[in-house]
Structure formats: C-alpha cells, structure tokens
Structure 1
Amino acid sequence: MALDQTQGNGPLPRQIPFIIANEAAERFSFYGMRNILTPFLISTLLLFVPLADRTSEAKHVFHTFVIGVYFFPLLGGFLADRFFGKYNTIFWLSLVYVAGHACLAIFEDNLTGFYFGLFLIALGAGGIKPLVSAFVGDQFDQTNKNRAKVVYDAFYWSINFGSFFASLLMPLFLKNYGPSVAFGIPGLLMALALLIFWLGNKKYVHVPPAPPSPDSLTRVARTALLARKPGQGRPGLVVAVLGVVGAVAALAMSFSWGFVISACTALVLLLAFGGIGTGMQLERARGHHPDEAVEGVRAVLRILIVFALVTPFWSLFDQKASTWIVQANAMTSPVLDLFGWEFQVLPAQMQALNPLLVMLLIPFNNVAVFPLLRAIGIEPTALRRMTAGIALSGAAWLVIGWIQVSMDGGTPMSILWQLAPYALLTMAEVLVSATGLEFAYSQAPQSMKGSIMSFWTLAVTVGNLWVLIVNSSVKNEAVMGHIASSGLSSIAFQMFFFAGFALLTALVFALYARRYKMVDNYRSGTDASSYGTLPQGAKS
C-alpha cells in the first residue's frame, strides 16, 4: 500500500461521488435549457423579428449567452482564490443559478424577464464552472494523483450522462407541454444538484483561499513591465500599452459591434498583448520577486498559449447547438422504429448524440485506443490528444459543409446524415475538452488553480466570440460579394471557413506542443494533511 501511494495509486477519495452526482444533475439543468434555447427563440420569443433575420438573431442571442457563461468563470475563480474558497463560492452562485432557471420558466413571454434569467444563469453556471472541476482536483494529492485521470473521465462522463437525457427529453417537453415546463424542469434539477453538493460538505477537502501575496501573478507582471534595465528600453511595456489602446478602441466600437463583442475583444487584447509584453521582460522581475514566483508566471503564460490555440475548437463545437440545428430544421426527418416504438427525431434531439457518444468513447479510448497506441510506441499525451481533437473538429465541419452544399444544390438530405459529423465532433470533444480539464489543473501553480481553470473556460468565450465576429462579417456587402463569387451559400462558406480555421490551428498547436514542457503541480501528501477539512464555520 505504501508503495502504491508513493507511486500515486492510493485509494479514491470517498467524497468524490457527491461531486460527480452534483455535476450530473447540474449539467442536466444547463443542457436541458441550452439545447432548447435556439428553437424556442426562433419559434416563440423572437416572433417580433422579421422572418428573414430571425435565425441570425437567435444565433446571436445564443452565442452571446454562451460567451457570458464562459466569461463569468473569471469572476468565480477570483472570488474563490482570493476571498471565499471554492466550496462557498460554488454554493452561493448555485443559488443565483436556480433563480435564473426560475426566471426562464416564469417569464416565457417577457423578453426582459427572460433575458434577465439568461444573465443569472450565465453568472451562476459560469461562476461555478471552473471551481467544480478544480474542487475535484483538490480532493487528490501526490498519494493518489494517478486516480485523478480516472475521476476526471468519470466527471466528464457524468456531465454527458446529464446532457444526454436533457437533450433527448427537453425538446419533447417544449413541444408537448410548453416553455414553462420545459424550462422549469431544469430548474428543479439544479436545485437537486445544489442539495447533493451540500450533503457532502463535511467530507470534502477544503483548500483555503490564498492570502494576498506580494509575489502574485499580476504583481510580478507589473514589476517585469515597469522595471528598467540600463541601456535598454522597455519593449514589453510598449506591447502591453498597445494592448490597452486596442482595448479602448474595441470598447469605443460597442455602438456598432455590440457591447458583448466589444468587451470580449477588449479583454482578449489586454490578455494577449499584456501576456506577450510580460514574457518579453519577465527576467527583469528576478531579484524583486522570488525565482519560484517568476517561474510560476512563466508557467501561466505558457499555459495561456495552449488555451488560446484551443479557442478555434470551441468556435466549431458550440455551433452544434445553433448552426447545426438550423441546418437540421431544413432536413427531412424519417420516422424510426425502435423495438416497436415509432418516433420522429426532432432537430434539437440530434444533440443527444453528442453526450451518448461521449459516454461510449471515453471508456472505448481508455480500454482500446490508448493501449493500442502505447503498444505501437505512441504515448497519447495530453497535448497529442488535444492536437488530434482540434484536427477532428475541422474534419467534422468539412462533412457538415458537404451536407450543406448538397442541400443548397437541391438534394433532399435526411437528418441522419448528421450522424457522421456528430461522431467526429464528439471524438474531438473527448480528446480536447476532457483532456483540457486534467491539463489545466495539473499545470496550474497551487495558488492559481481556480483562476487558471477560469482561463480555460475563457477559451470557450473567445471561441464563441469568433462566431459572433464571423456572423457579423457576413452581413458586410463586400464579404457577401466575395462569398457569392465562390459559388457557395453564406452558411456553406462559413462552414468551410471554420473547418479551415480548425485544421490550420491544429498544425500550429502540434508545433507548439513539441516545445511545451509538462510540470506536476498536484499537492503533496503533507499538504493534504495540513489542509484537511476546515472546521464548521471556518472560511473556505
């Protein structure tokens, strides 16, 4: 037993089932409402919008909501890391989450009330998103860290278990019982998720928030940017200032771009140019801060490059709930016979394929694909898996683009043709998303677990930002003229554009992955004993 623990194969923490069950119920609630959002907007809430513009407006609302969901992790990670700890932040934001679901069910025919509910869900779901996965990692240390990969797979499996039933059932509830019931059921599941999470409180390892540090990432970065070196300028500071100027310019464009696009673009410019500038002058922080603090910032900057290169994947993945549903609406839907039960697949129900395939592919990869790769001398490292996943997402969009071209040419296409791209995109998701959770936690310095996990989810925000930018760009007359000259419809052109975007990124990601050096930032066994479970009433 001692040898197993030394090798990281100690026993599984007994509190893990509470977190897994909580995640399954919470994901049912989230995907239950998310997967019927686009069809509800098109068929009910946006009837005041001209028919020709309704689909585009529904996509805009959907991706704006998703941007919010993956933007608020920054707030959740900050509150948890600096003030309240992960458990308390998850608990209180989950109450906000439940209130948001209630608004959707109550204000089904009120635009302001419904959008306020979406805001509350974005705040609650986004705020807890990086913390739950980081909270899973907190339950492990060096004695059982090898069990973490299995649990992260189970964690991701539970996400898709909830998502599968939500994707299958909620479109039926929306069709047969109306939006109040269809949006109310996910609210009840979120309340159940909160109850399950609370029941495990006394069993959890509660890692306290890090106290304010003079050697935090932002302070080290500020020192690096402002420090002078005899005989040299401050090129990194110039780059960072350019990012600030660009951010201000982006915010000034909010009247034409919209606030969400402008604010997210401004944030991306600040992070990108600030990170590049800090990296250029990081060595100047030595002597002002301990070497481990400087190296910690270097590690974070390297991680953020990986996250940035994953953003094109998310721009493709999240459109399965918008662009792919719009395509499915124009396809034929055959009546299927399953053990004597005849049914017709609704367009929104096609999304149930994604979580179903995830539940099959995760164990299939672990039992068959990865052992086979190791047998032929190829180790499926985290970065190799993510490279393959980004490339597969591009392949999925090549297929979905071919389907669209066939439809544009007048060929009737069955909704079942979407099976192939769903399979490719789901394998991509397993290789990128499930792996990314494990990668983000293992590479993050101990004091920044919540914040780094929030940067991982911020990649989804940026991915959806690309969608909004492209969606807005194709309304430009010059762009429309270029698309027309290609012989493709606007939607088909966008599909092939996103496919090329992902394939090019996969190549760049592979090149960067060859230079990336993995680190191990799991807690030591002595850390586990010192954290323990905080006394009742203690700050956590």
Structure 2
Amino acid sequence: MASSLTKDAARQSSAAAPGGEKGFFGHPRGLATLFMTEMWERFSFYGMRALLPLYLIAGGPAADKGSQGGGLAMTAATATAIYSIYMAMVYLLAMPGGWFGDRVWGPRKTVVISATIIMAGHLTLAVPGEGAFFGGLALVAIGSGLLKANISTMVGHLYDGPDDPRRDGGFTVFYMGINVGAFAAPLVIGTVGQNYSWHLGFALAAVGMGLGLVQFLLGTRHLSERSSVVPKPLSRAERDATLRKSMLWLLAAAVFYGVVAATGVYTLNWALVPITVIGLVIPVGVLVRISRDRELSGTERSRMKGYVWFFVAAAVFWMIYDQGGSTMSIFGDTKSRDTLFGFGFPSSWYQSVNPLWIMALAPVLAWVWVWLARRNREPSTTVKFALGLFLVGASFLVFIVPMAIASDGTKVSPMWLVTIYMIQTVGELALSPVGLSVTTKMAPAKYGSQMMGVWFLAVTAGDCTTSLLSLAGVDLNGTDVVAFEGILACIAGYAIWTYRRRVAALTGGVR
C-alpha cells in the first residue's frame, strides 16, 4: 500500500482521534467500521472471484483432468471474456453507485442497500442452473458497484479535508481490510467450492457479505455525519426525468433482445460484445463530460487534465493485473502443479497469494515512503504510477518463462506464479492506494462520490480491453500476446515518468 506519508503523518499516527474518541491505529474510530465492512465484502467478492473462471470451464475441455464437474463447460477464451466483463461491470457500476450516493440516498444508505443486493446475488449463484448463475452475477456486480465508491468516500469523510496528513495513511489501513478479506476468501470459499460444491462456495460468499452488513449497521454511529447527507439531492423534476429515461432504455433493450431471441440468432456474444464496447466508451465519455463542465473552476479543470494521465496509466495496469484471476488462474489450474513441499492444495488458493504478499510487503513499502519523505526524497504520485506500470509489465515478461516450459505438457512449479504475483503486488502497492487517495484530492467539489467511480472506470477500461481481445479470438494464453502486453506496460511507465513534470504542473502540485 504505497501511501504518501509525511513526517507529520508519522507523528500523528499515534495521536488520539478527534474529539477524544478512542482511535483505530491513530485514526478516527469510524475507520474500524469501514475496515471491517470492506473486509467482509471483499471476502465475499474474492471468494466468488476465485471460483468464477474455474466454475466456467469445469466439465469442459479447458478444465484440468480429474477436476470437479458441474460447471458450465466453457472454453478458456469464453471464460476469460465473461470474467473480464464481470470485473469491468463491477467497476463501471461504481460510477452510478457514486451518483446514487451524491444525488439520491447518501453514501451510508447506499452502502446498506448495496450490501443487501450483493448478498442476494451470492444466494442466487448458489442455485444450480445457467439462468440463476448469470442473474446472480448481475446482482453481485450491481451491488459491488453501488458499494465501492461510497465506502471509499466515507473514508475520506473521516478526515479534515485533503490536507489532513493522516489521510493517505487512513486509506492505507483501509486497503489492508481489502486484503485481509481477499486472503481468507480463497482458502475458505475456494476450498469448499472447488473440492466439494461450487454452489455451497457461492453460499458461503453470501454469509460473508451478511456479516459485513451486520457489522456496518452496528458501527455506523462512529462514522462522520457527512456520510448520511445527500450532497446534491435530485429535484422532483430531475427524479422523474431520470426514471423516465431509465425505463425507456430498459424497454428498448428488452424489445431488442426479445427480437434477437425470437429470430433464433441469439448467442452469448450478443450480450458480451455490446457490454464490452459500452465499457470502453463510457469511461472516455465521463472524463470528457467532467473536464468540460463549465461549473468547474480553472484549477479544477487543470487538475482533471492531469488526472487523465493517471487514468490511462491505471487502465493499462489493470488490463494486465486483473488477468491474475483469469489467464493466470486457468494456467495455475491446468499447467501448474498442485503440490508444494509435499502439501497439496486446490488451484483457487493461488488467489490468496497476492493479498498475502500485500500484507507482507505493504508495511515495508509504507516505511520506505516515510523514510524517503523524512529526507525530502519521497517519489511523487506520478513516479509511483510509472513504477507500478513498469513492474506489472515486467511480471508478464517473467510469465513467458513458465508458459514456455509448460508448452510441452510439463506442469511447472507453483513458485513461478508466486513470484509473478509478488512482482505484481509491488506494482499494485505503488499505484492502487495512492491512486485512491489522489482521486479524492483532485476531485472537483461537484463530483465527490462520482470521482471515486471515475477512478474505478480505469479498471473497467482495462478489463474490457482484455474481454474484447478474447472475444476477437486473441489467444491471451499465447507467449506473443503476453510479451506484447508486458512491453506495452513498460513503455507506458516510461512515458509517465518522462512527462512527470508536465503532469505535476497540471495537477497544481497535488502529490
């Protein structure tokens, strides 16, 4: 978790929380509530995520011999496309999730509603059948999108504005909650789902989200009062117009797909391709719309121009990084050994490697940033982004080696994937938490919660690119494609580093 901690932040880390209330690692007590809520939500999310690509290929030719049946028997390419689209939709829906927080319910109420939807989605996934599966997947995506932007915004509400020196450290602690849940999920949900019953695994994900919801409701009194406020509520006319437009779009989609189904030409691509294209077009449109908003001040517009650099860098990063749950997950299931030092394990456990590395390396990297800050040598946000891109690119260049070894049917050592995940983790720690923080710092006042949604749209753009490549027939398991992606990320990192001073000028000195 790369955080821009300073000397003041280090000194305040042991200070009491405001108002004399007992703090949480030197932060406001409300951070504990949000930490635990996010931990359980990530437990449910990453548990289902660990099972998803394996369930999609189970029973088909892409699955490993002897693996549990009962899945949807899809090809690896289709499974990668569905996985990537699902991930993209989770982050795409963070944008309307932020809108609901800003205009309709307020962040706190939106989190309660979203957690309930997520729990219902996991319970639907627990019901056998392809129809229930896609319905449950949609519910989890909708709920996760509603939750993500708002819970991150509530973390920001706990601090005294963007200049509070504890702010970056607070996001770092919050980020740890994500990874505690992400580490435990594959070990529990992955083991039960992959070894005993896919649908029982999905049901355990619902239990996790239920625990998170209960914990949030019990701890809401510790949150900032701002979290219950709707910053810019819809007028009655705006509400009616929004509802009318939504119903028209829904009706149009229903009629279109009804005709497609009635004519007998419907295939899964009729749903996957449009969603993928939408996931690429919307991020661009949103950035353009916000940047051109005439209500923004000159400083806010300049910062949005600088923010585009961070957005593009993040999209390239997530395009590669999120393949850790698809391309690398399927590789681990079919081409990597399932034993280490004589101990056997299900392939879903590979999804615990990244959060384990994060928990091990985050304190080290955070200490490095503090050590450098004390000497006025801490890298800027731009340099950290460049480092993250270079490392994620390097990880795929390393990935070429085990892919080549496994090309003749040899199953490679699990340590290859462990090493690749380690490189990616250092890159994530240099980019992701500081990206969350810089988004809250650079957000125009008019787009508080929505700017968190904009940050998550970078993930949407990256995952939709992966999905589009899969749907176009590009073999993401091929060494040529993996090498190309790795080189692309390294070049992007070099470009960000080269233009770091220009980006700093646009952002007005925001670190």
For the criterion TM > 0.5, the same-fold answer is yes
Q: Is the 8 A contact 2:60 2:72 kept in 1?
A: no
Match of 1:85 among 89, 106, 112: 106
How many angstroms does 1:331 deviate by?
Answer: 2.7
Count of aligned pairs between the two proteins: 448
Give the Cα separation in 1 of the matches to 2:91 and 2:438: 18
Which one of 479, 488, 494 corresponds to residue 481 of structure 2?
Answer: 494
Q: CA deviation at 1:411?
A: 5.1
| Partner deviation per Cα, 1:128-187 (whole Å, 9 max, x = no partner) | 111111110111105982122222111111110111011222221013330222111110
CA contact (8 A) 2:102 2:233 kept: no
Q: Which of residues 290, 311, 326 is equivalent to 1:322? A: 326
- Output aligned runs, 1:43-442, within 5 Å: 43=58, 54-105=75-126, 107=127, 109-142=128-161, 145-207=164-226, 208-211=229-232, 258-271=273-286, 278=292, 293-333=297-337, 335-337=339-341, 343-367=343-367, 369-371=368-370, 373-374=372-373, 378-408=377-407, 412-442=411-441
| TM-superposition CA deviations, 1:184-236 (whole Å, max 9, x none) | 1110110111111111222211323333799xxxxxxxxxxxxxxxxxxxxxx
- Deviation track 1:44-87 (CA, whole Å, cap 9, x = no partner) reads 59989997x61111111111111110110111111111222111
C-alpha displacement of 1:384 = 1.7
Q: What SS does structure 2 have at the residue aligned with 1:209?
A: coil
Distance change in 2, residues 1:377/1:167 (3 Å): same
SS of aligned partner of 1:413:
coil
Alpha-carbon contact 2:119-2:209 (below 8 Å) kept: yes
Distance 2:310 2:71 in 1: 40
Give SS of 2:502's match. Answer: coil
Give aligned-pair identity as a percent.
Answer: 25
1:370 deviates by 2.5
* Whole-angstrom CA distance in 1 between matches of 2:70 and 2:36: 41
Deviations 1:402-423 (A, max 9, x none): 2212222565422222121111
Report the Cα offset of residue 372 of structure 1: 5.0
Q: Cα gap change, 1:103/1:334 in structure 2, threshold over 3 Å: closer, same or farther?
A: closer
Aligned counterparts of 1:175 and 1:384: Cα–Cα separation in 2 = 41
1:507 aligns with 2:486: no
TM-aligned CA deviation for residue 274 of structure 1? 5.5
1:180 and 1:296, CA in 2 relative to 1: closer, same or farther beyond 3 A? same
Residues of 2 paired with 1:143 and 1:500: CA distance? 35
Match of 2:29 in 1: 14
User: Is the Cα contact below 8 Å between 2:121 and 2:138 reproduced in 1?
Assistant: yes
Equivalent position SS for 1:119: helix
Deviation at 1:467? 0.3
SS in 1 for 2:160: coil
Match of 1:218 in 2: none
Rounded to whole Å, the distance in 1 between the matches of 2:220 and 2:371 is: 40
The answer as to whether partners of 2:195 and 2:346 remain within 8 angstroms in 1 is no
Letter in 1 for 2:344: Q
Q: What's the RMSD between the two structures over aligned residues?
A: 3.1
Q: TM-score, normalised by structure 2?
A: 0.80
Distance in 2, Cα, partners of 1:382 & 1:143 = 15
Equivalent pair of 1:444/1:521 in contact (CA under 8 Å):
no
Shift of 1:374: 4.7
2:56/2:72 contact within 8 Å kept = no
For 1:196 and 1:334, locate their aligned partners in 2 and report how far apart those are by CA, in whole Å: 36
1:116: Cα distance to partner? 0.6
In structure 1, how many angstroms separate the alpha carbons of the residues matched to 2:60 and 2:200? 16
After superposition, the Cα gap between the structure-2 partners of 1:48 and 1:173, relative to the gap in structure 1 and judged at 3 Å, is closer
SS at match of 1:84: coil
Residue type of the alignment partner of 1:211: K
Query: What is residue 230 of structure 1 aligned with on the other side?
Result: none
Q: Counterparts of 2:354 and 2:113 in 1: how far apart (Å)? A: 30
| Letter paired with 1:419 | V
Contact 1:8–1:142 (CA under 8 A) maintained in structure 2:
no
Letter in 1 for 2:345: V
**1:22 CA drift (Å):** 0.9
Deviations 1:351-372 (A, max 9, x none): 21100010011101122x3245
Judge conservation of contact 2:59–2:71 (CA < 8 Å) in 1. no
The farther-off stretch of 194-203 and 122-131 is 194-203
1:532 aligns with none
Structure 1 stretches lacking a partner, 5+ long: 215-253, 481-488, 523-540
* CA–CA separation in structure 2 for the residues paired with 1:172 and 1:331: 19
Equivalents in 1 of 2:430, 2:125: separation in Å?
Answer: 33
Q: Secondary structure at the match of 1:94?
A: helix
8 Å contact from structure 1 (residues 137, 148) kept in 2: yes
- Secondary structure (helix, strand or coil) at the match of 2:301 reads helix
